[in-house]
A and B are shown apart, each in its own frame.
Chain A
Amino acid sequence: MKLLKTIFSIFIVAGFIASAPVVTNAGSLLQDLENALMCKCDDKCGKVLVNCTCSTSDKTRAKFSKMLDSGLTVEQIIKSQVDEYGETVLSAPTKFGFNLTAWVMPFMALIAGGVGIRKILSTWVGKNQPEDAQGKSEEKPATPGKYSKRLQDELDGIEL
């Protein structure tokens, strides 16, 4: 169980590291914009600006560079684009209102699935309990000594 706890702790720490706030430097502001907004070309290419190579995307990048140079922030530029084109210009749903369901639903489904599997496993393992109660416990095999350990090791290695 200690080993399991250690593995669990590693994941928790990893989770904290992963969810650390994003550090943005000045040089990547344009890239942040390119990632946050879709290309709005006439062909309706449906690509995120950073992935688009059409002539409209080049003009848009140049326009954003000028806007950044004029002192506008990324948020202000994004807002101006949303005002002009609507929410569809954003490359991902916002994290409030109805759009929040887009973000929450996959994790809700995952948690529900996890709880379901936990319940199923409890039921399935429970069916074997009477056998365990007769003395075949996990950590204390009925046959003591070095032979039981060897047997256990051999059983561990068997591929059915």
Chain B
Amino acid sequence: MNDIGEFTLLVALATAIYGCVAYVMAVRGNRIDLYLSADKTPLIVWGCVMISSICLWRAFLVNDFSLQYVWAYSNIELDTFYKIASFWGGQKGSLLFWTLLLTTYTVVVHFQNRKKNLRVVPYAMAVLLVIIIFFLFLINFSTNPFERIPLPPEDGRGLNPLLQNYWMVIHPPTLYLGYVGFTVPFAFAVAALISKNLDDGWIRVTRKWTLISWFFLCMGNLFGASWAYVELGWGGYWAWDPVENAAFMPLLIATAFLHSIMIQEKKDMMKVWNMSLILLTFVMTIFGTFITRSGLIQSVHTFDEATLGYYFLAFLFVILFACMALIIVRLPLLKSENQLDSFLSRESSFLFNNLLLLGIAFATFWGTIFPIISEAVRGIKITVGPPFYNQVNVPIGLALLALVGIGPVIAWRRATLSNLKKNFLKPLAAAFITAIALLPVIPLGSRVENYTYIAFILCAFVMTCILLEFYKGTASRMGLHEESMLGALTTVTWRNKRRYGGYIVHIGVVLIFAGIAGSQAYGTHIEKHLKPGETFKIRGYDITYEKLVAVEATSVKTRVIAQLQVERNGSHYWTARPEKEFYKGQNQPVSEVDVLSTWKEDLYMILADFREDESATIKVYVNPMVSWMWTGGWIIAFGTMISMWPDRLEQRRRLERFRREESLFPSPAQE
């Protein structure tokens, strides 16, 4: 089976090269025979990569330690659940998994578009195949997951204990689905540039792909934060690690793109800008891969055998320069009749939203690469950690939060004073009331506390803006159709999925901002070394350490569990069981925290240390509003689903608009 896996990877590479050349030659030479031949290649490449992946999964499931990769990331005792996930646990498998997702996306694109725009689609397929060729080249000749061990050992080294968490099955695939997904809009953008079809056709074809990729990347980031929160045992969820940054940057640029394409769709403006944004988003996904696989920047996420950095760097520069050259060559065709009626309009608010999103992306990028720059210029390696990102990004983030409220409410074309008054008076009043109400309740003084105060005020402002939009739509419908409030709300949302779905996403964003602000400013923690029966207090909780229990979970894993009783207002509130897990052959034990999460705050317990006399060091964090972030994430997911849902009404409206435009500009024959 391993031979089959290895062979099919070679076949996939050869087919992809043929397909890429055939697509280009078919469209250049206007040869339908070549096109029909090339048209089969995406499916063949996908089939080969799928067979190869199945072979690798099989090797994990049957404990085939003759494969070096299986030996390095699995062992006999590993749960089947994690054996499946071990596939993407290391560099070799993760590249194959990336390729599997990319070829799957390519096949879907192929079936969606094979009978559509034949001037653009062949080029898009060729671009997708070029990227597949790059990954297949790496897998075949540099980092082959089917590399053998001459004398296979009886057992494997096992999966890193930190990765033995259910998030390992969810987080990497979600993130990869996002990363890989941006290849599709990128391919169509490049195809539009090559084929000179530079209307908004490529945006309409790829809008849903962009949304899907954005959604997965967003959820991937949140899942990663959630994983770090429950697994790493430091009470936090985001550490501005270079690899976290690498996933965050394309998300920001893609968010800017999703907003600015609205202006192109509505006013046929900003073609160069949108083209640049989607190209930059893709480049950033490759940059993220470069960081993880180069070993150049220190990160907890870096793969053990991070040796592929130069390949990715070369690929990144080739793409960057090729895209820049393409845009420059096509500049005359990308010029649009840009004009605005007023400074005060939704269009300009979107421009500022783009500026702020790119500002945060740039600050994050700059912080990520600054250690390399410092070493090159001064010969001194420095660290750029959370204090830098918090100080630079938080003020920009707050300005962005304000725009989340302003952008969707301010009028298109021209906002008059009456419009501003009508839309912003109530939200400003809500912000003002929040500011007054919070003043005596929350502490002020430190920078974090002050920022948090401003964040809460802005959250109130934005939330009121959005809720008023829902209220206006619902009230208007209730007045016209005598529907119930819930019915009217549902109909209004369902009939304008894109608009109201977007508002729902914004509600999620507000909750995430509030959660981050609350948890960063008002969290507290305490560390106590206790003997059984001893009690301590934190934020109104009385915590009693009861006992320590050791459990032989498997032949390779021993769990040491501390049991603590938590009382609140004199009555029993929760029994906490934080633990440490010891894996055979691993130096460091793994902390498994125990968390009681409520809407108000999380009570987060860690067993930091223990001794033979059953005394234990317990660390307790009280993290306010953390669950707001996770709830915000699910609301974003819900809003994105609504936005993405097929909308026949919108399609009909668009068709009618095109017809109207056609009648306004009659064809030469009609003249």
Contacts and interface: CB of A to CB of B under 8 A. Distances in A.
A133 interface: no
Contacts of B499: 159
A54 B232 CA distance: 10
Contact of A102 (B232, B233, B388, B591): B388
Most buried by B among A44, A45, A125: A125
Contact of B380 (A17, A46, A86): A86
Interface in A121-154: 121, 123-125, 127-128, 138-139, 149, 152-153
B424 A51 contact: no
Given A91-B385, A93-B374, A125-B342, A3 B420 contact: yes
Interface string A21-54: 0111000000000011010000111111011111
Interface stretch (B17-25, B189-197, B308-316, B409-417): B409-417
B342 A3 contact: no
Interface string A48-86: 101111110010000000000000000000000000001
Contacts of A43: 588
Contacts of A114: 352, 355
B371 to A, nearest CB: 8
Contacts of A158: 412
Interface stretch (B30-38, B214-222, B286-294, B449-457): B449-457
Most buried by A among B343, B383, B395, B396: B383
Interface stretch (B173-181, B333-341, B555-563): B333-341
Contacts of A35: 386-387
A53 B233 contact: yes
Interface residues of B, number: 78
A149 B421 CA distance: 14
Interface stretch (B133-141, B203-211, B356-364, B482-490): B356-364
Contacts of B374: 93, 98-99, 102
A135 B592 CA distance: 71
A121 B343 contact: yes
Main secondary structure on chain B at its contact with chain A? helix
B434 interface: no
B414 A98 contact: no
A92 B388 contact: yes
Contact of B591 (A14, A47, A53, A110): A53
A14 B454 contact: yes
Contact of B414 (A105, A138, A160): A138
Given A3-B420, A44-B298, A20 B450 contact: yes
B532 interface: no
Contacts of A18: 395, 447, 450-451, 454
Contact of A125 (B340, B395, B450): B340
A91 B386 contact: yes
A130 B18 CA distance: 56
A46 B382 CA distance: 12
Contact of A105 (B343, B352, B366, B399): B366
B355 A113 contact: yes
A37 to B, nearest CB: 9
Contacts of B447: 18-20, 22
A108 to B, nearest CB: 10
Given A23-B445, A109-B362, A38 B609 contact: no
Contacts of A125: 339-343
B234 A53 contact: yes
Contact of B236 (A46, A51, A90): A51
B516 to A, nearest CB: 15
Contacts of B392: 103, 106-107
B608 A48 contact: no
Contact of A46 (B300, B348, B450): B300
Contacts of B454: 14, 17-18
A158 B399 CA distance: 26
A91 B239 CA distance: 11
Contacts of A15: 395
B299 A52 contact: no
A125 B340 CA distance: 5
B40 interface: no
Interface string B324-354: 0000000000000011111100001001100
B609 A89 contact: no
A153 B342 CA distance: 17
22 contacts: A3-B424, A46-B299, A51-B236, A53-B606, A54-B588, A88-B382, A90-B382, A91-B385, A92-B385, A98-B374, A98-B378, A99-B374, A102-B367, A103-B388, A103-B392, A106-B359, A113-B359, A117-B348, A124-B340, A152-B418, A156-B418, A160-B412
Given A7-B428, A88-B381, 20 more contacts: A14-B398, A17-B444, A20-B450, A23-B445, A46-B241, A48-B385, A53-B608, A86-B380, A88-B382, A89-B383, A91-B386, A91-B388, A99-B374, A103-B388, A106-B362, A113-B359, A117-B355, A125-B343, A159-B412, A160-B266
Q: What are the 3 tightest A-B residue pairs by CB atom distance, in nearest-first order?
A: A106-B363, A91-B385, A127-B339
